[in-house]
A and B are shown apart, each in its own frame.
Chain A
Amino acid sequence: MSESDSRVPAATPLRPRRRAILVGASSGIGAALARRLAHEGYTLALLARRGELLQELCEEINFDHGETRAIPYVHDVTEYEAVPDLLRRIVVDLGGLDLFVYNAGVALAPGLKKFDFEKDRRTMEINLMGALAWLNPISAMFQGLKAGQIVGVSSVAGERGRVGNPSYNASKAALTCYLEGLRNRLTRYGVHVLTVKPGFVDTDMIKGAKKTFWVVPAEQAAGDIWNAIRKRKQEIYTPARWRWLMLIVRNIPSFVFRRLIF
């Protein structure tokens, strides 16, 4: 009868528990968002490749709240075939699902004068194909349930193709566009889709990167994302001022843009 101790507390009418899956949770924006969602009362399934980091994060969250609010699942998003079974299991473990966040992503810059198909493929597999592997069953499920929220963490980088990392730009452009399509499909079923476009956030991803500016801590990005989830916004930039910068960037004519090195 009794199962493992990691079982999440029961949801009751007076203690409702929203449940979320967060893919790409071990560090950066993902970890910060996990802490934030747990603080807001969510029960979480946290997914990442790096088991140790994930385990530590879950222990920290569960310790802070004095109950099980986060369960770790080691998962490589490029193992697409594993998704259906894993999703089915997580929904059992959580007892339901209200929110899905896809935050897994890598930026593998090839170097300014180099080309590297392996890196490009890896970028696409993690940033885009992994997202599709999850978003398909999630969308089907939420559509059937006529409820649910989907968050995709894309990037401002998806708005122009730049010299530094074309495949990263392409993966995020595709993700942004895919999320827009999902939104247009799912809104009529009461499912909310949020696209998040972070600028520079102080995480491992921008470590060693030059020419960064407006760098914000991951906690701030997580706060912005939480507010957007709460208000059911369609698209946000974090920090918000990137919206205006990107309006300009999107409109820089190509003959200028292709001479820029950024």
Chain B
Amino acid sequence: MTTLSVDQFASLENFGHSLRAPSYLFRPGDAEQISQVFELAKQHALTINLRGAGRSYNDAALNGGGIVLDLTGMNRILDWNPETGILRAEPGVTLQQVWQHVLPDGWWPPVVSGTMFTTLGGCLGMNIHGKNNFKMGMFGEHVLEFTALLPTGEVVTCSPQKDDDLFHAMIGGLGMLGVFTSVTLEMKRIYSGQLDVRAWNVPDLATGLEALLGGAPKNDYIVGWVDTIAGGKGLGRGQLHSANYLPAGADPDPSRTLQVAYQTLPSTFFGLVPKSSLHYFMSPFLNNPGVWAVNTAKYVLGRTRAYRQPHAAFHFLLDYIPDWELAYGRDGLIQHQSFLPKETALDAWTEMLKLSQRRGLPSYLGVTKRHRPDKFLLTHAVDGFSLAMDFKVTRGNRAGLSEMLEEFDQIVLEAGGRFYFAKNSETAPETARRFLGEETIARFREFKKRCDPENLLGSDLYRRVFG
């Protein structure tokens, strides 16, 4: 069998380009090849991490010095039934592949992330949510069944009915219990390729959260943008977007809007700048005055509008500008996302926004969503809201940002909040213990012992938080 040597290292990065780690990279095509890599790892006493599209903002898909299984090679859609809307696919299939496959038949993935480039394996491992979490829950809630290869060599098939404990631990289990080899998902029936979208301004955080709370039951999707730089009375002001599926018959020509070709994102801004070089034009604005100017313009020019928009254009905002994360410069960006109960969210986030402004370290993008709790073991959701904030990392601001995020975490913990392992890069082990609870962690460790007694699966994230 192959020997591993350090000249085979690939340099892998997180999404956001703020971390880098060398790893032996393998791209298996089937379960048999995954087993071979497990053998190799045992021989060399190395750990294996699983990687899909590499869209995590933190160290979830990194494994410094160890093996990384790039599962994007297992990217076949195995089965699609346009009558029932049930799809079975390999873990490397992306959300883009999925929606493009099912849309012409009048279906859409029930839960999608802000980018379509994520893989199903990644969506399952992190248990992603969308702008409809309050209604449709987590990605994992639409999994009818999955098969996975455990490091023990055992192949398991789990569903909410069969081995449901393991089902709820492996989904959202950070890829630390086994490798998903196929997943069966139920799609959502739609009658048009368009969504009814409404946009309106909210003058402050309280109004914004109130509107999210009140708007959620009445809409299929709702999401808020927060002007994180505005202070004083306008603290937390922003814009809300709600969206609804069109009922049957509302679209005059669904056969046109349900075509993949109709689901385009705008290809140029202002008609002049090619999309692929847009991030160069973003970069001069990614500083405090620049973001202030952009945010203020966005807020002041924001009007109440109602319009129809293709699904892809509404959902995949992050894909509008390819490689937008490069605009954050050499040291990249990080995201801090906190999930708070609806009772405590306003006070906690008011404090956090004020803190970031006082320190001169405002977030450059703030997004709020409405959430509901679920049954997954390592879940991040609560009956409340989430606020995601992007921060630019520079050589000069690291120490200050680090201190500030520690304060953020304390505020969130005291307010009974939670965190999301696909996003936050600085979560301390103690923080994880506090929000998950000793019992939950102990249960996860039991699953780990059962599925991976030799600790073959490991990641920088897992060692950082649970090591």
Whether B402 and A14, one on each chain, are in contact in the complex, defined by CB atoms closer than 8 angstroms, is yes
Contacts between chains A and B (CB distance < 8 A), count: 107
Contact of A12 among B9, B19, B45, B65 (CB under 8 A): B19
Chain B contacts for A7, CB-based, 8 A: 463, 467
Task: Say whether B401 contacts A147, CB under 8 Å.
Answer: no
Q: Is the CB of B464 within 8 A of A146?
A: no
Q: Are B426 and A92 in contact (CB under 8 A)?
A: no
Cβ–Cβ contact B65 & A92, under 8 A:
yes
Docked complex: B9-35 residues within 8 A CB-CB of A: 9-11, 14, 16, 18-22
Cβ of B169 to closest chain A Cβ, rounded Å: 14
Check if B19 sits within 8 Å of A137, measured CB to CB: no
Q: How far is the CA of A147 from the CA of B9 in the complex (A)?
A: 12
**B448 and A95 contact, CB distance less than 8 A:** no
Residue of B nearest to A90 (CB): B65
Collect the chain A residues with CB atoms within 8 Å of residue B6's CB.
Answer: 84, 87-88, 91, 137-138, 140-141
For the complex, what is the distance from the CA of A250 to the CA of B34, rounded to whole Å?
A: 59
A253 at the interface (CB under 8 A from B): no
**Residues of chain B within 8 A of A3, CB atoms compared:** 463, 467
How many residues of chain B are within 8 Å of chain A by beta carbon? 43
Q: Is the CB of B11 within 8 A of A141?
A: no
B9–A94 contact, CB under 8 A? no
> Do B65 and A94 touch (CB < 8 A)?
yes
Does B5 interact with chain A (Cβ within 8 Å)? yes
Report yes or no: A15 in contact with B402, Cβ–Cβ below 8 A: yes
Chain A residues lying within 8 Å of B22, measured Cβ to Cβ, are 91, 96-97, 141, 145
Query: Across the two chains, which residue of chain A brings its CB closest to B461?
Result: A10
Q: Inside 8 A of A147's CB, which chain B residues have their CB? A: 11, 20
Query: Are B5 and A12 interface neighbours, CB within 8 A?
Result: no
Does the CB pair A94–B64 fall under 8 Å? yes
Tell me if A219 counts as interface (CB < 8 A to partner B).
no
Task: Say yes or no: is B357 at the interface (Cβ < 8 Å to chain A).
Answer: no
In contact, B44 and A88 (Cβ under 8 angstroms): yes
Answer whether residue B118 sits at the interface, using C-beta atoms and an 8 A cutoff. Answer: no
What distance in Å separates the Cβ of A83 from its nearest Cβ neighbour in chain B?
10
Q: A10-B464, A13-B331, A88-B46 are in contact. List 4 more A-B contacts (CB 8 A).
A: A10-B463, A13-B16, A87-B6, A144-B8
List residues of B whose CB falls within 8 A of some A CB: 4-11, 14, 16, 18-22, 44-47, 58-59, 64-66, 331-332, 334, 393, 398-399, 401-402, 405, 425-426, 445, 448, 455, 460, 463-464, 466-467
